[in-house]
Amino acid sequence: MTDSIERDEFFMREALAQAALAQARGEVPVGAVIVEDRGAIVARAHNLRELLDDPTAHAELLALRALSMDRKSWRLDDVTVYVTLEPCPMCAGALVNARVKRVVWGCDDPKAGAVRSLYSIGDDPRLNHRFACTSDILVEECSQILQRFFKALRDRKRRAP
């Protein structure tokens, strides 16, 4: 059990590094990494909605697209996706459609979370695929990077003329 927790924490730190890259670019700091069953990171991404002016440029979707293009296949049934924030409905749907094996996230998203908080898309028996879920991995670190980002954003708006 400890080995799987240590493994999850290791890969979540990699996702947090992606979140930090997003933050440095002025993006909401969400990062994702995709890991094959054998333990290799095969895709990394962070939010790019602002930079690309693309509402679909979430970390999870960008990582899924990169891996699918690399593999020349949309079926990603041998991977675990690590993401710092609980996936939204769009991303949870894409994770189902990609047939991912497992999704691991850091902190819940009470406003848009679609894996546990508001919906259970990854475990909905009406859909043609379900994925295993693990939550609360490095939850404090994942929460803090988002809280600091939004606090700084609010502070900037208050100081603006």
The residue from 6, 14, 27, 60 that is catalytic is 60
Helix runs in the chain, H state only: 2-24, 49-52, 59-71, 89-97, 139-159
What is the Cα–Cα distance from 5 to 119, expressed in whole angstroms?
25
**Sequence-separated (6 or more) residues with CB below 8 Å from residue 149:** 23, 28, 29
**Beta-strand relationship, 41-46 and 132-134:** unpaired
Residue 60 bears catalytic tag: yes
Active site members: 60
